[in-house]
Amino acid sequence: MIYVLGSINFDLVIFLKKFPEIGETVEGNSIFFNLGGKGANQAISIKKLNGDVMFIGRVGDDYFGKYLINNLNQYNLDYEINIDKDLNTGMAIIDVDENGKNKIVIYEGANGGVKDEEIDFLKDRIRYGDFLLMQGEIPFETIVNAVEIAKKSQAKVVFDPAPAKREFKNLFPYLTYITPNEVEIQMLTPEIFDLNDKIDFLIKSGVYGVIVKLGEKGIIYKDRDGRYFKLNAYKVNAVDTTAAGDIFNGAFALCLSKNFELKYSLKFSQAASAISVTRKGASISCPNYDEVIKFLEESDEKNNN
């Protein structure tokens, strides 16, 4: 079983030609409502890829919380959602330009209340051989408690350090895999090192395997056993890059749970992410398992010709 403990947001997405400068007003081309939040995105991506997953999170007692729960039900996703009477549902305001790039403002809302109840639920269920997938959009204390529980249960932990915080360095001994992008790994490591040195720093600090997401430049993987891969990104026409990293992480956790070969797992995760950026939205943009397999087959066929 894969447990995802994390954030869930109501996303308000506006598509526009270009981002406004300070003090400038620009017109949007279209508007889109969407279920988001890094935790929910990861959980839904695992579900759509035929994985066994349980999402644990919190919403407010408001319209947006009800909207999100209805959306989760449409995916037949197993979840434990606490409804907070004191906090509003988390929200993200997302601008997407004509090149598919995005700028995001997040209001944490009820995600900031993810604490004892959620931790108790996880503690009662996670077992040896399970996986815990997490991100940085819930309180740090909760993250620490969760990874400690996972390590004690001998479950594997995949952590996406986004949004990055320097205090995440205290988590390294508990993490099986960490998946930063270039900006995040800069914040998590000393400034004097180049990228390969930064990866080595994370491994020496306790992380087993490091995946650095380089966007259009692909990914770099390295682990404590000396395995190293640098894989190019798949070339696609990006429409919206929102949740691309979340979908990569969800796909990777799925592959780990299925005991797929490592290099194939990385390519599978890249393919799922690549497909997602050709579609609008966050979790809704994630492909299903058959779509990823078809994409990989077509990519291999193209490269062999």
Catalytic site residues? 246
CA distances to 117, 159, 190 from 144, rounded to whole Å, are 15, 11, 22
Buried b (16+ CB within 10 A) or exposed e, 151-160: bebebbbbbb
Cβ atoms of residues 211 and 252 within 8 Å? yes
**What does residue 286 show for φ and ψ, rounded to 5 degrees?**
-70, 135
Which positions ≥6 away from 182 have C-beta within 8 Å? 195, 212, 213, 214, 215
CA 294 to chain centre: 23
Cβ atoms of residues 42 and 283 within 8 Å? no
The single residue listed with the structure tokens 């309180």 is: 139
Q: How far apart are CA 6 and CA 85, in angstroms?
A: 19
